[in-house]
Amino acid sequence: MRPSGRQTNEMRPVTIETGVTMHAEGSCLIKCGNTHVLCTATVDEKLPPFMKNSGLGWVTAEYGMLPRATNTRMRREAKNGQSGRTQEIQRLIGRSLRAGVDRVALGERQIVVDCDVIQADGGTRCASITGGWVALKLAVQKLMKAGVVISDPLVDPVAAISCGIYAGQEVLDLDYPEDSEAGVDGNFVMTGGKLIEVQMSAEGSVFSRAQMDGLLNLAEKGVSELKAAQMAAVN
Amino acid sequence: MRPSGRQTNEMRPVTIETGVTMHAEGSCLIKCGNTHVLCTATVDEKLPPFMKNSGLGWVTAEYGMLPRATNTRMRREAKNGQSGRTQEIQRLIGRSLRAGVDRVALGERQIVVDCDVIQADGGTRCASITGGWVALKLAVQKLMKAGVVISDPLVDPVAAISCGIYAGQEVLDLDYPEDSEAGVDGNFVMTGGKLIEVQMSAEGSVFSRAQMDGLLNLAEKGVSELKAAQMAAVN
Amino acid sequence: MRPSGRQTNEMRPVTIETGVTMHAEGSCLIKCGNTHVLCTATVDEKLPPFMKNSGLGWVTAEYGMLPRATNTRMRREAKNGQSGRTQEIQRLIGRSLRAGVDRVALGERQIVVDCDVIQADGGTRCASITGGWVALKLAVQKLMKAGVVISDPLVDPVAAISCGIYAGQEVLDLDYPEDSEAGVDGNFVMTGGKLIEVQMSAEGSVFSRAQMDGLLNLAEKGVSELKAAQMAAVN
Amino acid sequence: MRPSGRQTNEMRPVTIETGVTMHAEGSCLIKCGNTHVLCTATVDEKLPPFMKNSGLGWVTAEYGMLPRATNTRMRREAKNGQSGRTQEIQRLIGRSLRAGVDRVALGERQIVVDCDVIQADGGTRCASITGGWVALKLAVQKLMKAGVVISDPLVDPVAAISCGIYAGQEVLDLDYPEDSEAGVDGNFVMTGGKLIEVQMSAEGSVFSRAQMDGLLNLAEKGVSELKAAQMAAVN
Amino acid sequence: MRPSGRQTNEMRPVTIETGVTMHAEGSCLIKCGNTHVLCTATVDEKLPPFMKNSGLGWVTAEYGMLPRATNTRMRREAKNGQSGRTQEIQRLIGRSLRAGVDRVALGERQIVVDCDVIQADGGTRCASITGGWVALKLAVQKLMKAGVVISDPLVDPVAAISCGIYAGQEVLDLDYPEDSEAGVDGNFVMTGGKLIEVQMSAEGSVFSRAQMDGLLNLAEKGVSELKAAQMAAVN
Amino acid sequence: MRPSGRQTNEMRPVTIETGVTMHAEGSCLIKCGNTHVLCTATVDEKLPPFMKNSGLGWVTAEYGMLPRATNTRMRREAKNGQSGRTQEIQRLIGRSLRAGVDRVALGERQIVVDCDVIQADGGTRCASITGGWVALKLAVQKLMKAGVVISDPLVDPVAAISCGIYAGQEVLDLDYPEDSEAGVDGNFVMTGGKLIEVQMSAEGSVFSRAQMDGLLNLAEKGVSELKAAQMAAVN
């Protein structure tokens, strides 16, 4: 039995509220159960130096957590620098979002997606990718309305979900009580029915290819539900 | 005329929503017009080293801004370290809140107040103090309900408001368009009808004692309105 | 009674020795009782990037303390980075000095004022502002003699003094024994009879508007005495 | 055709030379083609603070590259701090090695595995895991000979290999020319025929579950060859 | 001909003023021509961790320059961290002073010598050693007067002087115009007629053993003159 | 008697293997007994900013140690920043190599020499200079073969050796057991029979000019043997 009483293939309720800040070109507050992430997209007409004159656009991401987003207060990263975990997560978000962008169509500009966790209950990196895509899409819609981008560079949503083996069972969308106990867990990023990233990790444990297939099946189910929520939010 | 059409002695609408995060011992989201600050209070039964065995409690504060809380995206402080401005503000918040605490009554424990600006439109340090006191009060109420604090260490609210000279006129509660133009502005922290901090500053300008008196009159009006909102929120 | 035996409205003796270093365009050693600060002004014909092509000059300040300027040796900031307190003080010195400069008359150049505390006994930030203005004035006089600045951008001295409530009494120019005991203290920066900055702060205490008026009266007396010392030093 | 002329399922030649430094408790130089990594294992009888009194041992890893291990000289991390990539890699190495350790059998001590890339040609993190396990095993053998560890905590080797999709084909053990062109690549860590970590990533691309299965097949072949090299090295 | 008109074996005038700060246990302002260094000695009854329970005392040094001690303003090290040059100099000062201390006689305490350059004209590290010894001696005299140190741990002064080859000639005590031109220069630290440190360095040049002997002869002359000034200062 | 059984004027065996990495323009692995240093030379056609348009080339060096190069594992400098000792050593290597370069003949380019200690047993800075010169020479030979450098900028080898006073005797080429006991030790850098750097240092000891002459005699013998090894390696 899962602590939340959910079925093994049952996601937490997902809501995506858009337009939540007055300044950003695109923004949303995504809630996956008790995990709440504020995502904003900032359009910058200057490319980073390594992309200058490439004819391509760029999308990057940054990730943070408010100190008391978690059950025990964490030290503020502004005082101590970004942890390795934080850097790893924001690199994942950036790679994932870029995989769903037609960078020629975006043109020579950069979009920075900020994902800040307001409240954490497991799955913050997946919620950041899913919500980050919505913020990105809203910013691009604004560029298209303004006529500076002509052809839509974002065709299919990019979404991510975690799965893992909890108490011997393959389960979808781990919350924190499950995540902290699971010997095996993974994050799956998908778009258009295809995979972008698979990150499976066993802490003090191992897993078989059959289990991996089971988790991939769950992930496909989850991502298709997230896609529906994303499409509803941006239309 | 003020850009917002407000009277010179008219505050922006203030709302304080409490209990906004599941983890913190006390929390609120304070909105002063378009300035939105999430405040949480964390109870730590360990005192910082310099207060050990003093018989007194301690209250401290940290302050941050989400990168796109502002009109132009700011660099993330987790990547670059806290600016001098950030450190100055969080020291002010901590001093201000401590001035309203009976540290003997609080007992040998620390409360950390985190103030994170979700959206900025001027006056973020004042909103942080005002909202920070509410989060602090809620955490203390929890300690009192649990019986670990007996006598209430927070008698009268601590609140703060900015005033300044805009277009030659003394005005209350500057928003960002006013703040960026004002030659003189100040922050006033008060409790129980008395002053805790006065920080008046002229950038490329000067001011007279008569003007200072005028701003103090406005501040007293503003703080009494904030106090009403604070009392409503915590009861 | 004050520890030093001074009257409540009595300043410590002030001396300002000019031309104390061979390299700087302007320099002085200001002694306010046992607080000694070495101030130098460096003319830089290059503006900082954010002021380029503005038609305006810029004045900025940096502040430091020798490790054994204080009774107990402090850790060297070169090894640990500038503290929040140091950054707050040097921002104040810079703002204060700029408020007394006609930046059009100064022309497109920067003057950096370094204030280094050789010996500390309270009031170092105020001595830095008062002495810093003298160093700045001397550097400007040199520019005027050389004909690169035509109209004097520094008309009236900028000076600063601390006041506070010590043992229940409003006193002028706190030394360290007073400063470490005072529940309320403030720094007042003035020029030409007007105010530039007021920073009043109560640590674990509060104060009334009447007390604030009393401190302002003392500050006005103190600043007029400092102005006389400044004028004597630069002529 | 692969740039090296290898078959799609053909590894580069692997050699593992042990006992390469006089100081470390265990050490090897692993060469996977032109990728050369020096791995050392250091036994520390003190556990890190978060593991104290747990009854369990700990294994951790650090990773570095000499500045000219690569074709273009990289900035020295000692001057600039560890990059996000470096931190991500060393976290992966540590997790991977821990998954193959019986931490009860190891007892309350820590082993630190240092993996320093002397020459890089793709696949440095995989070579670090494979060679790191050998260094770890040698250090454990020393502890067992000394009688301080009784039951072998390392039963089956942990090894890792990269696979990817290069020029539309699934290939095993990417070298740098392939790695820099591949749209999809992954790292697979295995032990005893089971998976520990799967990290698949598509930069500007996507992949299907069928392709993922193909890569897993290649990885299983590669890891079985690496295991043979590891067993030969430690016996 | 030397720029200053000095003979090749002629030192700049040296003065050592003691008791220049009210807080430090020992202090002096040493002037070697236009090079002025403020030296303070702080007694700390706590040893650094690596010396605990050794039965020996410890002497260490820190070095700094005010930003405008030089002809062109240098960046403040508190903002940028200590340069390699600064660290190298303070390690030299510490080693040099320790070589002249009987650490058993000093007993289990630490003395920290701070050397801060107020004005620089070449030879600041040598002036720091020579003046640093005076501050150290004064602090020790205080400990002996207080009866906490019985046998004098400082028998013979430690002093240092620079020599170099300027315009083809061996010269004593280089000032900045000479130092910046000299192809070869060195610093010689001596006590009791013996050597403690010799640091000779050729930038874009080389030197013979005969030249080295000539410089050592000059250094012996210089150090004997410095010793006289030191003895006069401390008696 | 020396711990190694060597004569007082006997060096450890020296081997220099060239061409040890595939990427660097010049490289060698130098072994001085159990001290092993990997040296690479990287040609950079861009000069550092302070040398632009000078008509001169530049040579600089960086130094590092693998964490377990030593008997006790050291903390990785990439995690903690370069120590003062590391910076001091790499500045010495750079100065020493530059002293043997005709910078006009080298032309407007930079060569960066990286010296990374694989295994340490005393004398790592000297081995770095001696091996660094070989890597530098090999890189220059490549530039001459390519015709971009015409006249050889490296005429005579630069080599370095340590000497010291161990157990009262002057000895050549200290290994770690000697180095950690010696009261006096020094590093001598030479080229073409002349001196470039002399760094003699006494920790808790002093030395006479006669002893210094004895050490210089030993150093001359050692450097002539190193020169022979260098010439054999580069021809």
Report all structural domains of chain C as residue ranges with CATH numbers, in order of start: 14-234 (3.30.230.70)
**CA C23 – CA E68 distance, rounded (Å):** 7
List of chains touching E (3+ CB pairs within 8 A): C, F
C194-202 and B194-202: which strand pairing?
Answer: antiparallel
What is the longest distance spanned by two Cα atoms in chain D? 55
**CA E193 – CA E196 distance, rounded (Å):** 10
Nearest Cα of chain C lies from the Cα of B219 at a distance, in angstroms, of 12
**CA E132 – CA E140 distance, rounded (Å):** 12
The per-residue pLDDT for F155 is: 86
**CA F66 – CA D16 distance, rounded (Å):** 19
Mean pLDDT, residues A22-27? 98
- CB contact under 8 Å between A195 and D209, yes or no, is yes
The per-residue pLDDT for F63 is: 98
The per-residue pLDDT for D204 is: 77
Q: Where are the alpha helices (DSSP H) in D83-191?
A: 84-99, 103-106, 124-145, 176-179
CA nearest to D166, candidates D202, D213, D220, D209? D202
**CA D58 – CA D44 distance, rounded (Å):** 10
List of chains touching D (3+ CB pairs within 8 A): A, F
The per-residue pLDDT for C205 is: 85
What b/e string do you get for F67-104 counting C-beta neighbours within 10 Å, with b at 16 or more? bbbbeebeebbbbeebeeebbbbbbbbbbbbbbbbebe
**CA E55 – CA E51 distance, rounded (Å):** 8
Element (H, E) at D195: strand D194-202
Q: Where are the alpha helices (DSSP H) in chain A?
A: 77-80, 84-99, 103-106, 124-145, 176-179, 209-234
pLDDT-flagged residues of chain E (< 50): none
Amino acid residing at E78? A
Nearest Cα of chain D lies from the Cα of A26 at a distance, in angstroms, of 22
Could you tell me which residues of chain F have a Cβ less than 8 Å from any Cβ in chain D? Answer: 21-24, 27, 34, 38, 40, 42, 44, 62, 64, 66-71, 73, 76-79, 81-82, 86, 112, 114, 116, 118-119, 121
CA D140, D141, D142, D146 dihedral sign is: positive
Mean pLDDT, residues C53-67? 96
Mean pLDDT of the residues in chain A:
96
**CA A170 – CA A184 distance, rounded (Å):** 9
Flag whether B2 is marked binding.
no
Low-confidence winner among C35-39, E181-185, F104-108 (lowest mean pLDDT)? E181-185
The per-residue pLDDT for F66 is: 98
The angle at the Cα of A140, spanning A137 to A142, to the nearest 5 degrees, equals: 115
Residue A204 confidence (pLDDT) above 80: no
The per-residue pLDDT for C40 is: 98
Q: Where are the alpha helices (DSSP H) in B81-123?
A: 84-99, 103-106
**CA D201 – CA A199 distance, rounded (Å):** 8
Amino acid residing at C126? C
Phi-psi region at C68: left, alpha or beta (left = phi > 0; alpha = psi -120 to 50): alpha
Spatial contact of A181 and A138, defined as CB atoms under 8 Å apart: no
Amino acid residing at E32? C
List per-residue pLDDT tens for chain B, 235 residues long.
Answer: 899 999 999 999 999 999 999 999 999 999 999 999 999 999 999 999 999 989 999 999 999 999 999 999 999 999 989 999 999 999 999 999 999 999 999 999 999 999 999 999 999 999 999 999 999 999 999 999 999 999 999 989 999 999 999 999 999 999 999 999 998 999 999 999 999 999 999 987 899 999 999 999 999 999 999 999 999 999 9
D35-44 and D58-65: which strand pairing?
Answer: unpaired
Residue F204 confidence (pLDDT) above 80: no
- Beta-strand (E) ranges in B135-218? 158-166, 169-172, 184-191, 194-202
Structure tokens that stand for C204 in this block:
């674990």
CA nearest to C79, candidates A56, E62, A91, B104? E62
Chain F hits for D66, CB-CB cut-off 8 Å, are: 38, 40, 64, 114, 116
Test mutation, F4, F22, F23, F115, chain D, max D CBs within 10 A = F23
Chain E hits for F210, CB-CB cut-off 8 Å, are: none
The per-residue pLDDT for A155 is: 86
Residue A106 confidence (pLDDT) above 80: yes
Residue C213 confidence (pLDDT) above 90: yes
Please spell the DSSP secondary structure of C102-158, one letter per residue: -HHHH-S-EEEEEEEEEE-SS-HHHHHHHHHHHHHHHHHHHHHHTTS--S-S--S-E
Flag whether D124 is marked binding.
yes
Amino acid residing at F185? D
Q: Which residue has the higher pLDDT, E183 or D144?
A: D144
The angle at the Cα of B20, spanning B17 to B21, to the nearest 5 degrees, equals: 160
Spatial contact of F164 and F203, defined as CB atoms under 8 Å apart: no
- CB contact under 8 Å between D195 and A205, yes or no, is no
Q: Which residue has the tokens 């004692």?
A: B209
Flag whether E18 is marked binding.
no
Asked whether at least 3 C-beta pairs link D and B within 8 Å, the reply is no
The per-residue pLDDT for D29 is: 98
Asked whether at least 3 C-beta pairs link B and F within 8 Å, the reply is no
Range E48-52, long-range pairs (CB < 8 A, 24+ positions): E48/E110, E51/E108, E51/E110
Nearest Cα of chain E lies from the Cα of F87 at a distance, in angstroms, of 6
Phi/psi of residue F92, nearest 5 degrees: -65, -45
CA nearest to C42, candidates C143, C193, C144? C143
Structure tokens that stand for B29 in this block:
């989201």
Nearest Cα of chain F lies from the Cα of D67 at a distance, in angstroms, of 7
Could you tell me which residues of chain F have a Cβ less than 8 Å from any Cβ in chain E? Answer: 84-85, 87-88, 90-91, 95, 98-99, 103, 186, 191-192, 194-209, 212, 216
Please spell the DSSP secondary structure of F180-233, one letter per residue: TT-SEEEEEEEETTEEEEEEEEESS--B-HHHHHHHHHHHHHHHHHHHHHHHHH
Kindly report the three-state secondary structure assignment for every residue of A11-69. Answer: CCCEEEEECCCCCCCEEEEEEECCEEEEEEEEEECCCCHHHCCCCCCEEEEEEEECCCC
The per-residue pLDDT for F203 is: 82
Query: What are the pLDDT digits (tens) for C69-82?
Result: 999 999 999 998 99
Nearest Cα of chain C lies from the Cα of E22 at a distance, in angstroms, of 8
Q: Order of strands, edge to edge, in the sheet holding E158-166?
A: E169-172, E158-166, E184-191, E194-202, F194-202, F184-191, F158-166, F169-172
ipTM over 0.85: yes
- The DSSP output letter for A194 is E
- CB contact under 8 Å between E69 and C23, yes or no, is yes
**CA F97 – CA F115 distance, rounded (Å):** 12
Mean pLDDT, residues A37-58? 95
Q: Which residue has the tokens 């501040």?
A: B219
Please spell the DSSP secondary structure of chain E, one letter per residue: --TT---TT-PPPEEEEE---SSSSEEEEEEETTEEEEEEEEEESSPPGGGTTSS--EEEEEEEE-TTSSSSPPPPHHHH---HHHHHHHHHHHHHHHHT--HHHH-S-EEEEEEEEEE-SS-HHHHHHHHHHHHHHHHHHHHHHTTS--S-S--S-EEEEEEEEETTEEEES--HHHHTT-SEEEEEEEETTEEEEEEEEESS--B-HHHHHHHHHHHHHHHHHHHHHHHHHH-
**Using 50, 70 and 90 to split pLDDT, how confident is the model at F218?**
very high
Mean pLDDT of the residues in chain C:
96
**CA F166 – CA F8 distance, rounded (Å):** 9
Q: What residues of A form the annotated binding site for phosphate?
A: 85, 123-125
The whole-model pTM stands at 0.92
Spatial contact of D223 and D159, defined as CB atoms under 8 Å apart: yes
Q: What chain F residue is nearest to D34 in terms of C-alpha separation?
A: F22
Mean pLDDT, residues C134-149? 98
Nearest to C118 among E38, E69, E81 (CB): E38
**Using 50, 70 and 90 to split pLDDT, how confident is the model at F28?**
very high
Q: What chain D residue is nearest to A158 in terms of C-alpha separation?
A: D206
For D215, counting Cβ atoms within 10 Å of its Cβ (0-12 exposed, 13-18 middle, 19+ buried), the class is buried
Q: What residues of A form the annotated binding site?
A: 85, 123-125
CA A91, A93, A97, A99 dihedral sign is: positive
Nearest to A82 among B23, B64, B78 (CB): B78
- CB contact under 8 Å between B71 and A23, yes or no, is yes
**CA C211 – CA B39 distance, rounded (Å):** 32
Amino acid residing at D204? G
**Using 50, 70 and 90 to split pLDDT, how confident is the model at C155?**
confident
Residue C220 CA: distances (Å) to CA of B220, C11, C223, D193: 24, 12, 5, 84
Mean pLDDT, residues D170-176? 98
Flag whether F73 is marked binding.
no
Q: Which residues contact E235 (CB under 8 A, 6 or more apart)?
A: none
**CA C228 – CA D5 distance, rounded (Å):** 87
Q: Which residues contact E14 (CB under 8 A, 6 or more apart)?
A: E30, E31, E32, E130, E225, E226, E229
Chain D hits for A164, CB-CB cut-off 8 Å, are: none
Nearest Cα of chain C lies from the Cα of B94 at a distance, in angstroms, of 10
